[in-house]
Amino acid sequence: MSNFITTDKGPLIPRNRDAHPVAYDPGYKTSVARSPNLPLLSMESSPSEETGPTFGHGKLGALDNNLILNWTKGAAPAVGERILMHGRVLDENARPVPNTLIEIWQANAGGRYRHKKDTYLAPLDPNFGGCGRTLTDENGYYQFLTVRPGAYPWPNRGNDWRPMHIHISVYGHSFGQRLITQMYFEGDPLINHCPIAATIKNRAQLDALVAPLDLAHSRPLDYLAYKFDIVLRGRRQSMFENKLEGM
């Protein structure tokens, strides 16, 4: 029976590249010289892609997923619209991905990053660092408490602005699932003008990066909630396939 069970043993489902942004997009100028011209080499996944790093709770601090407080170690809260960002990590087989590391980084409420290269007019908030991390629970759920990041201008075409967004990095359970993406906010009119959002040519896939306002999970007199689910690559396992040697 062991070959019949759907577990983390089969090859990764090949990536559907049409679900992702194009590499070369002249509207996003930096991509022009940073996109491979030649086709990628496709083949079935191997142990190098089917295994991956794991992280225990031991590495994480108590405030790591609370961006309102973690820069000051709890001494003073950040300025901005308080939000709960929450959701689930699933794989393509719709199974939850438990105990996986999610890291986020973002601008402050004025649209400024705590990074030496960011020189935007909006000031740094002395009480906001802009990074957080957490592990999903046994059902794939995660939560961050943060402030809503501001929109900001960036040097691309003459007058380009980034919509409000939070950067998200996820591991999954194998290195071939590694993903970085961005969460946008429902109703932000800048999404439709953003050359980075526009690198995704499939509208449904872009819409899937827009978090809806989630009043049911908002806390009265405290924060609004936005829901953001993440889907990572899944693995294939049929009774007709051999298991990976040694796994």
Partner 1 sequence: MVQKLETLVETASQTAGPYVHIGLMPTYAGNAGYYDEEIGVSPIEEGCEGEIIEITGSVYDGTGWAMRDALIESWQPDAKGVFPGQEGADPKVSGHCRFAAHAETGEFTLRTVKPGKVKGRGGVVSAPHISLWVVARGINIGLQTRIYFEDEDNSSDPLLARIEQRPRVETLIAKKTGEGKYRFDIRLQGEGETVFLDI
Interface with partner 1 in residues 90-149 (CB under 8 A): 90-94, 101, 103-105, 113-118, 129-131, 133
CA distance 153 to 116: 17
Catalytic residue among 86, 133, 162, 235: 162
152 catalytic per annotation: yes
Catalytic residue among 86, 142, 148, 152: 152
CB of residue 222 to partner 1, shortest distance in Å: 25
Question: Residue 73 or 221: which CB sits closer to partner 1?
Answer: 73
Residues 31 and 24: beta-carbon distance below 8 Å: yes
Considering only residues 64 to 83 of the shown chain, the ones binding partner 1 according to CB under 8 A are 64, 70-71
Stretch that binds partner 1, among 15-23, 77-85, 138-146, 218-226 (CB under 8 A): 15-23
Does 14 participate in binding partner 1 (rule CB under 8 A)? yes
24 catalytic per annotation: no
113 catalytic per annotation: yes
Considering only residues 186 to 205 of the shown chain, the ones binding partner 1 according to CB under 8 A are 196-197, 199-200, 202, 204-205
What angle (nearest 5°) sits at the alpha carbon of residue 33, between those of residues 178 and 104?
Answer: 30
Q: Which two tokens stand for residue 226?
A: 């936005």
CA distance 156 to 141: 36
CB crowding 155-186: b at 16 or more within 10 Å, else e: ebeeebebbbbbbbebbbbbbbbeeebbbbbe
Task: Pick one of 3, 6, 7, 17: the residue that binds partner 1 (CB under 8 A).
Answer: 17
Host H or E run for residue 49: helix 47-50
20 catalytic per annotation: no
Question: Residue 7 or 219: which CB sits closer to partner 1?
Answer: 7
Q: Which two tokens stand for residue 167?
A: 């950067």
184 catalytic per annotation: no
